[in-house]
Amino acid sequence: MTNRARAAARVTEGGSVGRCVRLALGGVLGLGLLACASAGPQPVPSGPPAPTPVSTPAKSAAASPLREEGVPSLEPCLREVNEAQEATRATPDETGAWLRLATALHEARRLQEAARAAWRAVELEARFETWSTLGRVLTDGDVFMAKGAAVGAYQAYTMAARNATDAGKAARNFLTLAYRDFSLGHDDQALELIEEAGRLAPSDPLVPFDRAQVLSVAGRRDEARAAAEKALTLLDTQTQSQTPADPALAGVQAIAAAILGGEPVARPGLMVAGELLPERFWARPPVRGHSLALEIDPETDRFFPLLPTVALRLAVPTTWAHAMKATDKAIHLRLAAPEGEAVLLAELTVFPLRSERFDLRHAAEAGRQGAAGPRAEVSPLRPVEREKGLAYWFSATDGTVDPQAPAEGQHRYLWQAFAYVRPFVLSATFLANRQDAGTEAAVLALLRSFDVFALATAAGPDPAGP
């Protein structure tokens, strides 16, 4: 039994897969398995795939002032999302409608929503296509490995394999998950998954080909050459018998021959944490997005998201150094200017409009603008005497105080900000030790970078709790 299989067995012990599995969805930081393209599983490539541009009429790009230069428009994806959402409203118990929505949301990089739609499809009909779709969403991203989504994706693909009529497709699912491990340097995990794929489809050339790449990067050159030679043999046999050619095998021959000749293979690259993001969550390249932890409620057996942790830390759109802590009620950020002594603390909370914790006067104004999409309202910066509670709460971890926390009374300037997406509100409190343009710019950059819907759904089934 592989390490991942053992982990999956632990989380499912004593109950159904749906009731006990803990899944986490990774933020998409540069590998884009499904960027407005085919939703099929992919083999391990020899290098990071290039972003897939989205075809958009010229007037669409000109009409959107928020689009960054060189950032492909997601408007075609969003149109498909809207149409798929209408289909689920018209036929809420139709599995195909939810699969379409999950795929559309995945392509639009709205991963937390895609996972919920995919899980709904599994609830309606647990079959190969539904489990595979859920697995693909959970496999997408670079930070998910540390959050447990690897186990969730493995379980989804295992359930897909049990319901598969085509063992080859089930094997390709495991190769996709192996790619995620390989890209993150988890070579042993990748090899275990490739071995599992080989048990399902021993004649698939991609199995020894992927194995050859992982072994080559790991420095196991003799084993890599043997695997590459086997891949070329299987490829030659399949090429002679298969019509039309499998597009997933394109380039396999050249790369396998290079490995056989002793040439090194590069590990797929990852984006750097903290890299700048575009201003609007729907105007970023299709290979980027947020991450979100997901869990199944043991009482209702329903899929719901938890507060993100690493994701928001990676998405901070500023050169300021940053740290983050999250509780089940709020997210706390601490930012420090690259030069100087400026420090900014932030507390972000998401709750529905019905909650008494929110002043509905702000919601009424935000609601009038909500139809156009997420909109942040930032009040003028105003001085305060002291915000000891916020500063201490942020810096306390397990009863201890962060030694890097600013001294009491240092934070004397406060912003209140609200962002609205029906039917949720993001409330943000920013506390700074100085009032200057750089600090205010950091606040605005943070607000503009957040995927407000992701935050809105991140508070779980009852974000209005005490």
**Are residues 148 and 9 part of one domain?**
yes
Phi-psi region of 217 (alpha: psi -120 to 50; beta: other; left: phi over 0): alpha
Give the H/E segment covering residue 400.
strand 400-401
Q: 185, 216, 248 — which closes off a domain?
A: 185
Strand stretches in 331-397, DSSP E: 331-336, 343-352, 375-378, 382-383, 396-397
238-268 as b/e, with b when 16 or more CB fall inside 10 Å?
A: eeeeeeeebebbeebbebbebbbeeeebebb
Residue carrying the six token digits 């919920």: 116
CATH number of the structural domain spanning residue 53: 1.25.40.10
> Could you tell me the mean pLDDT of each successive run of 10 residues in the chain, 466 residues long?
52 38 28 26 33 30 31 59 89 92 80 78 89 83 49 84 90 87 84 94 93 92 94 86 72 87 74 29 26 38 32 41 55 65 66 44 42 43 46 38 47 60 57 70 62 38 30
Confidence (pLDDT) at 129 = 93
Torsion sign across C-alpha atoms 455, 459, 462, 465? negative
- The answer to whether the bond into 403 is cis (omega within 30° of 0) is no
Which amino acid belongs to residue 154? Answer: Y
Q: How far apart are CA 350 and CA 327, in angstroms?
A: 12
Residue carrying the six token digits 């986490």: 24
Q: 159, 185, 211 — which closes off a domain?
A: 185
Q: Is residue 422 included in any domain, yes or no? A: yes
Q: Is residue 283 included in any domain, yes or no? A: no
Confidence (pLDDT) at 89 = 87
CB 5 within 8 A of CB 154: yes
Q: Is residue 304 included in any domain, yes or no? A: no
**Both tokens assigned to 394:** 């942020």
Confidence (pLDDT) at 7 = 46
Q: Is residue 297 included in any domain, yes or no? A: no
Q: Is residue 464 included in any domain, yes or no? A: no
Confidence (pLDDT) at 267 = 77
Q: Is residue 291 included in any domain, yes or no? A: no
Strand stretches in 221-342, DSSP E: 292-296, 303-305, 321-326, 331-336
CATH number of the structural domain spanning residue 359: 3.40.1000
Domain count, the chain: 2
Which structural domain, as residue segments, surrounds residue 355?
A: 316-457
Confidence (pLDDT) at 93 = 87
Q: Is residue 206 included in any domain, yes or no? A: no
Confidence (pLDDT) at 358 = 41
Say whether pTM exceeds 0.75. Answer: no
> Residue 215: helix, strand or coil by DSSP?
helix
Confidence (pLDDT) at 181 = 80
Confidence (pLDDT) at 116 = 78
Q: 156, 185, 214 — which closes off a domain?
A: 185
- SS3 for 104-153 is HHHHCCCHHHHHHHHHHHHHHCCCHHHHHHHHHHHHCCCCHHHHCHHHHH
**Are residues 175 and 324 part of one domain?**
no
**Both tokens assigned to 296:** 């199944």
Confidence (pLDDT) at 425 = 54
User: What count of residues does the chain have?
Assistant: 466
**What is the CB neighbour count within 10 angstroms for residue 227?**
25
> Residue 375: helix, strand or coil by DSSP?
strand
Q: Is residue 248 included in any domain, yes or no? A: no
DSSP 250: T
Which residues touch 306 (CB under 8 Å, ≥6 apart)? 292, 293, 294, 295, 328, 458, 460
Confidence (pLDDT) at 233 = 93
> Residue 402: helix, strand or coil by DSSP?
coil
